[in-house]
Structure 1
Amino acid sequence: MDILPEFAVQLVSWVSSGAMIFGGIVPYIPQYLDIQRKKSTEGFSTHVCLVLLIANILRILFWFGHPFEWPLLMQSILLVGAMLLLLRVCTLYPADHDLATQPRHFVDFEWSHFWRWSHYRDYLQFLASFTVTMIMLTALLMPITTYIEFLGFCALITEAMLGAPQFYHNFVKKSTAGMSIKMVCCWLSGDIFKTVYFLVKNTPPQFYICGSIQVMIDISILSQVFIYTSSQMLPKMP
């Protein structure tokens, strides 16, 4: 009689783990399709890709010093791959304000051109340089617990700021046009789910604290949709 409840618990655990692994990439599918359809990244901040790539590279390195739930590790690996694909399509169809008369390259080391380079390979060069540097630093400082915990905090606080570039982008434009609202709704539902998951699985406190910050930022971005849409409709009123 106890077999069925035990199987049900195991099934729920498998489903929640699967949702955690693959749920991270789901929000970016609508945005990817929107960019493909419009042939432009107008309205989408490519700094979202930067934040997620840095956060997940750091999180993967954190796992070697402080192993956590394996679904979270798999999620990070998949997210790195997904962000590389999204970044690829962003470089194929840049927004009008990102078009440059002169090519911009990573090896120029111009801060004003950071993450606004002309070719996909420049982004890969930066990411490779960052990853190799962090691998060497982590290998050197692995025995130091304080460093490992700080690395985990940096990874998660960076991810917690995921929506910040999009929020700022919307704020500057005073518009959310071009941004996938489906993407942000997926962010919100996913961040609520994973914050609860972190609490239930008793993960290190960095995880659920940063998850809570992400939920608040998601809600702020969705509030921008209402505020800016309402303000754009006001002149049309009699």
Structure 2
Amino acid sequence: MAWLSTVASVGMAVGPPLVYADQAYSIVRKKDATGFSRDVCAILLIANITRCFFWLGDHFEFALLFQSIFMILAQVLINFALRYLRSYICILYRPRISPENLGGSSRPFSFWQWSTYVQHVEFLAGLILFQAILFLILSRFEVYVAILGFVALGLESTLPIPQLISNYKQRSLYGFRMSTLIGWAGGDAFKTAYFFWQGSPIQFKACAVFQLSIDFAIVVQRMLYGNAAPPSVLLDDEDLEQALALGEEVN
């Protein structure tokens, strides 16, 4: 059974980051991130950075540590970086009706709705520095390490919630790839079983069960709403067609 455990560990480490490859391809191909909540990127980055510090205080499986590292790299490289290869997709191909494109944000300090790549990098660098300082001061306290774990895993368990809200507002899963949804539901079901099988810390088990329940709620949305283009996208397309027609008349 050792080989099965090894395969499961490798799957846990590399599987979740790969889920976003198809979503990234779809956004680049359409040059539009409508339907995919960019807050997902924020949650994954913050949660996995925090989880790395949790590992320093409570050495859980290496597979889960590598999963966090690969996920951070996936979000930075696929969703933000590779700027000159046109692949920081969630910024470059933000939805046409996003707060950045409309010229404003209702969030404090416009959190995660900044208009430039550098602002996101500065935030992540500040977060890492802040957590490093806290860890150096408080890591000797077991309560702090336990809280760090609940923060990391609890935050990650909220990952599907922005997408759930986005789907509800649009009354559609337009732009949200079925492969990503299958990856979420299947991957979270697998990792929940993995956590119980491997006897992972309670933080992993509790948060995985919660996250899986949200995944299934999105599956229900998919069955109820479908993936037709929402009115906002249709209106944009109609405006474009009218502008082209007007231009032809002028010429």
TM-score band, normalised by shorter chain: 0.7 to 0.9
* Deviation digits for residues 37-62 of structure 1 (CA, Å, limit 9, x no counterpart): 10110110000001111110110000
State yes or no: 1:38 paired with 2:30. yes
Task: Tell me how large the CA RMSD over aligned residues is.
Answer: 1.9
Deviation, 1:11, is 1.4
Q: Report the more deviating stretch, 166-175 or 41-50.
A: 166-175
Deviation, 1:230, is 9.4
Number of residue-to-residue matches in the alignment: 219
> Which one of 119, 124, 129 corresponds to residue 127 of structure 1?
124
Aligned pairs for 1:24-103 within 5 A: 24-84=16-76, 85-87=78-80, 88-98=88-98, 99-100=100-101
Deviation, 1:119, is 1.1
Percent identical residues: 36
Distance 2:157 2:104 in 1: 32
Distance 1:180 1:121 in 2: 28
Distance 1:101 1:163 in 2: 25
> Which one of 159, 162, 171 corresponds to residue 159 of structure 2?
162
State whether residues 195 and 212 of structure 1, in contact with CA within 8 Å, keep that contact through their aligned partners in structure 2.
yes
Amino acid at match of 1:90: C
Amino acid at match of 2:72: V
State whether residues 53 and 80 of structure 1, in contact with CA within 8 Å, keep that contact through their aligned partners in structure 2.
yes
* Deviation digits for residues 11-57 of structure 1 (CA, Å, limit 9, x no counterpart): 11211111011011122111101001101101100000011111101
Partner SS, residue 24 of structure 1: helix
Distance 2:130 2:112 in 1: 18
Amino acid at match of 2:221: Q
- Distance 1:17-1:57 versus aligned 2 partners, 3 A rule: same
Distance 1:220 1:101 in 2: 30
Amino acid at match of 1:93: Y
State whether residues 55 and 159 of structure 1, in contact with CA within 8 Å, keep that contact through their aligned partners in structure 2.
yes
Relative to the length of structure 1, the TM-score reads 0.87
Distance 1:184 1:120 in 2: 27
User: Who is 1:235 aligned against?
Assistant: none
Deviation, 1:100, is 3.1
- Distance 1:170-1:101 versus aligned 2 partners, 3 A rule: closer
Partner SS, residue 68 of structure 1: coil
Relative to the length of structure 2, the TM-score reads 0.83
The structure 1 segments of at least 4 consecutive aligned residues displaced by more than 6 Å after TM superposition are none
User: Who is 1:198 aligned against?
Assistant: 195
Deviation, 1:127, is 0.8
Partner SS, residue 49 of structure 1: helix
Distance 1:230 1:201 in 2: 37
Unaligned stretches of 5+ residues in structure 2: 81-87, 230-251
Distance 1:231 1:118 in 2: 28
Partner SS, residue 96 of structure 1: coil
- Distance 1:168-1:121 versus aligned 2 partners, 3 A rule: same
Distance 1:33 1:135 in 2: 34
